[in-house]
Amino acid sequence: MFRRPARLALAASAAALLSTTVLTSSAQAKDGDPWKCSHGSSASATDAGGRDSYVTHVDPDNGDRVGMNFTANGEKLTQWNDSDDTADYYAKFYKGNSIDLTWHWNLEPKMADYTYNFERPEGQRVQLETKLFQPSKGGCIDNGGVA
């Protein structure tokens, strides 16, 4: 006599649990998508022979952004973090095919922009890279800068 209501209650509980799991899983699938990378370089308007470059990394889910610019005139690096993630920034300066200097910086979520001025020889190639604390979100690299 009590078995049928118990079975119905058990079936209803299982259905509710399954619905919650499916809804939660679909919400988690959207979050954590790999970020979109855009990068590029162009001839410097103020440094003959130099090339300015940039990397910008954007979260497709909410528009959060991190990025880095290299300005050939003065060999300046500027980093920003307009996201809720911790980001690492790398710049490599090349002398020929060898790395002459590797620079690393870290910005916590929503920290103020940071600019650093280098004194590098003219003509060195510059590689920019941003990485997020969560590796599954990907990274962003550009090799087009020239001091």
One domain, residues 17 and 60: no
One domain, residues 63 and 116: yes
Digit-by-digit pLDDT tens for the chain (147 residues) are 545 555 555 455 545 444 433 333 333 335 667 899 999 999 999 999 999 999 999 999 999 999 999 999 999 999 999 999 999 999 999 999 999 999 999 999 999 999 999 989 999 999 999 999 887 788 899 999 999
Cα–Cα distance measured from residue 103 to residue 93, given in angstroms and rounded to the nearest whole number = 8
For tokens 């979520």, name the residue. 109
One domain, residues 15 and 42: no
Domain holding 4, by residue range, is: 1-30
Burial 110-138 (b: 16+ CB within 10 A, else e): eeeeeeeebebeeebbbbbbbbbeeeebe
One domain, residues 1 and 66: no
Which residues, listed in sequence order, are joined to residue 89 by a DSSP beta bridge? 105, 130
Centroid of chain to Cα 30: 17
How much is the pTM? Answer: 0.74
